Amino acid sequence: MNISSTPTDISPAGNTQVDRNPLPLGGLRIVDLTHVWSGPSATRLLAGLGAEVIKIEGPSRPDFLRGTGHADVPSRYPDQKHGRDPGNRNAWFNTVNTDKRGITVNLKDPDGLRLLHQMIAESHVLIANYRAGVLPRMGLGYEQLKAIRPSIIVVEMTGYGSVGPMSAMQSYGAQFDAMSGAAWLTGDGKQPLLTGFALSDPVAGLSAACAVVSAVARLRRTGEGCYVEVIQRDAMVPLLGEYVLEASVDDLSPTGLNDAEEACPHGLFQLGDDSWVAIAVEDEPAFHALLDQLDDAARAQLADVGTHASAMIRRDEVNAAVRAWCRRRTDAAALSGQLQVAGVPAGPVSDGRDVYGDEQLRENGFFRRLEHPSAGAHDYPGPPLTLNDQRFAPRSPAPVFDQDTDAVLRAVCGLDADEISALRERGVVGAALS
């Protein structure tokens, strides 16, 4: 069956307005109740792909990622200055919320909840990353929302699943990393080691994005909505699936820190100027290419190794020779380029400045300059993909707090200016970011 020949209209509320957004998720409206990192990273990607993402924050409960005001870490702010409105100037929030609309609604107020229900009636997807059980308690469970819009898709990102003894526990990326087995595989076999940047958060976000597009594909095909639970702790486990498979039938093959069973030499090697280079030789051609690049001292050390097959058996000796050779070299970027030209997989260990200035990323348009009303003009990273060789995101900066409340209430809920003003006066919507 060629499904794209029988599309289902997904324009908001099934109206007949012709979708003019050329991006793949054009015409899709997502109500976004996610906060911090994992959920917002999912909706950032979906917004980049063309969905209209309406991010909802509480008037007195902004997204935690907006920071803790003037007591927050200075390195997250332009010129390390919090400024007059730090909540709108946080680099983290402004990175992970591009291409979204931002509104403020007090969902604890019955009128606020009613507004949200009105939005649901005009939307295709609701996504949230609250603790398990919170959505139904708020009146936003799947069955409750299905009564409002039968074809609604509800995606709930729970920490540990909605049932079981851990369901209500606090959950952060570090916990997911630790409970996936990844920390032990990352370490040296004697001690576990956490990935330095809570990789589990964006990984859970990617899984949620997978769930949303899959559910939307089904909606387009059948006209039916569904409930999807994304378990964030579980999202890391498929990334080490081959190890799980191996451990289920055999003892795991042990590897040391920065080692890999299928490659030799393999590792991150320190150069004479204290820069680091990754080298990973997986086959005979690359091994012989590496031998050609070594200096006489290193070649002499490896004179009787000869083949990659032999190197794999004598990996300690080979890695030691390469380690010593690297200490006689400088400039990881130049060495990596030299090795790559010769056919040896290699790359410099890059920090934020290196990645930001990376000519490869620059030439391919990975970064886009966005003018943010409070933070100023900066370059932001986009998704790592192109459609028909064209970059498509990010297109607009993260919303400042309360930026789109009036516009969304007018366009989606059909309120007029007086009605919105009354809601503001009562604190149901809007507020200044403290």
Partner 1 sequence: MKLLEGVTVVEVGEDAAGRYCGRLFALSGAQVERFAERPSASPGARHHRYVEAYLDHHKDVREYSRHVGAADSGLLESLGAADVLIAGPGFAWDTVPKALRPPVSGTVNDFAPAGPQAGWLGTEAVLSAVGGAANYTRTHDGQPVYGFGRRFQYLAGQYLFIALTAAVMGPTQARTFPMVRVSAAETVAALLPYATTQYAYNGTTTTIEQSGPRFLCACRDGFLCVYAGGRWADLAQLLGDSVRGLDDCFAEFGRRFANAAQLETLVVEWCATRTLAEAIAEADACSVAVAAVYTVEDVLSDESLRRNGTLSDVNFAGATAVAPGLPYRAEG
Contacting residues for 388 by C-beta, under 8 A, at least 6 apart: none
Let me know: does 243 contact 185? Beta carbons within 8 Å: yes
Binding mask 382-421 for partner 1 (x = CB under 8 A): xxxxxxxx--------------------------------
Binding to partner 1 by residue 25, rule CB under 8 A?
A: yes
Given the complex with partner 1, which of 186 and 421 has the nearer CB atom? 186
Count residues near partner 1 (CB under 8 A): 170
Task: State the Cα–Cα distance between residues 236 and 182, nearest whole angstrom.
Answer: 8
Given the complex with partner 1, which of 316 and 416 has the nearer CB atom? 316
Binding to partner 1 by residue 378, rule CB under 8 A?
A: yes
The 3-state DSSP class for residue 271 equals: coil
| Nearest-approach distance from CB 137 to partner 1, in angstroms | 18
Binding to partner 1 by residue 224, rule CB under 8 A?
A: yes
Phi then psi for residue 125, to 5 deg, are -135, 140
Given the complex with partner 1, which of 10 and 31 has the nearer CB atom? 10
Let me know: does 133 contact 167? Beta carbons within 8 Å: yes
Binding mask 148-187 for partner 1 (x = CB under 8 A): ------------xx-xx-x--xxxx-xxxxxxxxxxxxx-
Does the CA dihedral 55-59-62-67 come out positive or negative? Answer: positive
Binding to partner 1 by residue 15, rule CB under 8 A?
A: no
- Of 55-63, 126-134, 233-241, 421-429, the window that binds partner 1 (rule: CB under 8 A) is 233-241
Binding to partner 1 by residue 16, rule CB under 8 A?
A: no
Per CB under 8 A, contacts with partner 1 among 100-139 are: none
Does the CA dihedral 105-108-112-115 come out positive or negative? Answer: positive
Binding to partner 1 by residue 433, rule CB under 8 A?
A: no
Among 225, 397, 399, 430, binds partner 1 (CB under 8 A): 225
Per CB under 8 A, contacts with partner 1 among 188-207 are: 188, 191-199, 202-204, 206-207
Phi then psi for residue 180, to 5 deg, are -95, -10
Q: Which amino acid is at 176?
A: F
- Of 246-254, 317-325, 414-422, 424-432, the window that binds partner 1 (rule: CB under 8 A) is 246-254
For residue 49, give the nearest of 318, 347, 394 by alpha carbon. Answer: 394
Per CB under 8 A, contacts with partner 1 among 317-356 are: 336-337, 340, 343-356
Binding mask 263-292 for partner 1 (x = CB under 8 A): x--xxx-x-----xxxxx-xx--x------
Among 14, 110, 223, 238, binds partner 1 (CB under 8 A): 238
Task: State the Cα–Cα distance between residues 105 and 95, nearest whole angstrom.
Answer: 22
Task: State the Cα–Cα distance between residues 270 and 349, nearest whole angstrom.
Answer: 10
Binding mask 41-80 for partner 1 (x = CB under 8 A): ----x---xx-----------------x--xxxxxxxxxx
Task: State the Cα–Cα distance between residues 382 and 96, nearest whole angstrom.
Answer: 10
Alpha carbon distances (Å) from 356 to 63, 193, 198, 200, 417:
26, 26, 20, 23, 44
Task: State the Cα–Cα distance between residues 275 and 318, nearest whole angstrom.
Answer: 21
| Nearest-approach distance from CB 395 to partner 1, in angstroms | 16
Binding to partner 1 by residue 218, rule CB under 8 A?
A: yes
